[in-house]
């Protein structure tokens, strides 16, 4: 089959894809499409994947010469896209479906009236990026009541489109994908969709710092020089008996006032303190007994 229809050329990622209008329907140069989609042998790709009814040939002028070129229908174009393994396939499909085909059908030719060629030539985040941003938005709104999730989702998409100057998130330039992700992640739901969370109460910090200086300060002279790297420290067991001064008792007292349940620690410390007090009293009693004289009643010498 031959056709005198005018060739409509356009570029996809620096590759020319020639198009014809046959019976008001767009047909695509098979060789050009296969080059974009990564098919090494365009003839084999057409035979293996395309329906014969959607394949035709047409004489066109290329490089000043008349050549016979194979064209495929829109349906066969999709068949080649679906079976392509190249990453460009999804971007190519999105561009053709969303931009090229509607314009061809409306004007009978492709017009880049919006000046978006640079953005559309494989340099956008495309469908994959769109789904990635959609997943982030879904994760943000999942905590909202079911009734407002759809409205919140639409609002975030609208704000994203406005922020990046696009009609569809798929048209966001690829080098701005991270910026778009950060924009959505930082979008605040509080206030508009959620009540702001109350500020957490800050509890006063417990003063339970008792460095070694506390012991040496309580008994001056108990910490003294040993060598260049260390000191001697003398610790007196009886200091535990004084609840007003013992750092163990002071720590437990402050923890209790702060609301901590430290009853087990209290009973252990009290046991140590009471046992030490009992031992001290016993030792003091023995000491007094050893230091006091033993008194006897004896006869006077002149009576012996």
Three-class secondary structure of residue 225 per DSSP:
strand
Give the C-alpha separation, 110 to 8, whole Å. 7
Give the C-alpha separation, 289 to 112, whole Å. 114
Give the C-alpha separation, 284 to 304, whole Å. 39
Give the global pTM: 0.36
Give the C-alpha separation, 161 to 180, whole Å. 10
Domain range summary for the chain, segments of one domain joined by +? 8-120, 126-186, 212-291
pLDDT at 46: 94
Q: Are 36 and 12 within 8 A, CB to CB?
A: yes
Structure tokens at 48: 């293996």
pLDDT in tens, the chain (304 residues): 444 456 777 677 777 888 888 877 888 999 999 998 989 999 999 999 999 999 998 888 765 677 888 999 988 998 998 888 888 888 888 878 877 777 676 655 444 455 444 433 346 776 667 777 888 888 878 878 887 888 888 888 888 988 888 888 878 887 788 888 888 888 877 666 666 556 666 667 777 787 877 777 777 888 888 888 898 888 877 676 666 667 887 888 888 888 888 888 888 888 887 887 788 888 888 888 888 888 888 888 776 5
CA 284, distance to chain mean position in Å, is: 68
Domain range 8-120, CATH class = alpha beta
**Which region, left, alpha or beta, applies to residue 165 given φ > 0 means left and ψ of -120 to 50 means alpha?**
left
């Amino acid at each position: 089959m031959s056709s005198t229809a005018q060739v409509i050329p356009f570029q996809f990622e620096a590759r020319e894809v020639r198009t014809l209008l046959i019976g008001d329907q767009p047909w695509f140069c098979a060789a050009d499409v296969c080059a974009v989609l990564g098919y090494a042998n365009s003839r084999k790709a057409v035979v293996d994947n395309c329906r014969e009814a959607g394949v035709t040939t047409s004489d066109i002028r290329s490089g000043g010469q008349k050549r016979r070129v194979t064209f495929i229908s829109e349906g066969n174009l999709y068949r080649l896209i679906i079976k392509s393994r190249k990453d460009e396939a999804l971007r190519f499909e999105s561009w053709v479906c969303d931009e090229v085909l509607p314009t061809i059908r409306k004007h009978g030719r492709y017009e880049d009236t919006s000046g978006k060629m640079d953005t559309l030539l494989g340099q956008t985040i495309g469908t994959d990026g769109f789904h990635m941003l959609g997943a982030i938005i879904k994760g943000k709104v999942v905590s909202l009541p079911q009734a407002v999730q759809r409205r919140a989702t639409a609002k975030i998409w609208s704000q994203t489109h406005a922020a990046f100057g696009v009609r569809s998130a798929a048209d966001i330039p690829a080098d701005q994908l991270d910026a778009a992700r950060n924009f959505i992640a930082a979008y605040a739901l509080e206030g508009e969709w959620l009540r702001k969370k109350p500020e957490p109460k800050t509890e006063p910090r417990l003063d339970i710092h008792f460095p070694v200086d506390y012991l040496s300060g309580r008994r001056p002279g108990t910490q003294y020089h040993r060598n260049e790297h260390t000191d001697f420290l003398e610790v007196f067991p009886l200091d535990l008996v004084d609840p007003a001064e013992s750092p163990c008792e002071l720590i437990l007292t402050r923890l209790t006032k702060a609301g901590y349940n430290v009853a087990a620690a209290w009973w252990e410390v009290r046991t140590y303190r009471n046992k030490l007090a009992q031992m001290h009293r016993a030792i003091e009693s023995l000491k007094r007994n050893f230091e006091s004289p033993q008194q006897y009643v004896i006869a006077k010498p002149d009576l012996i």
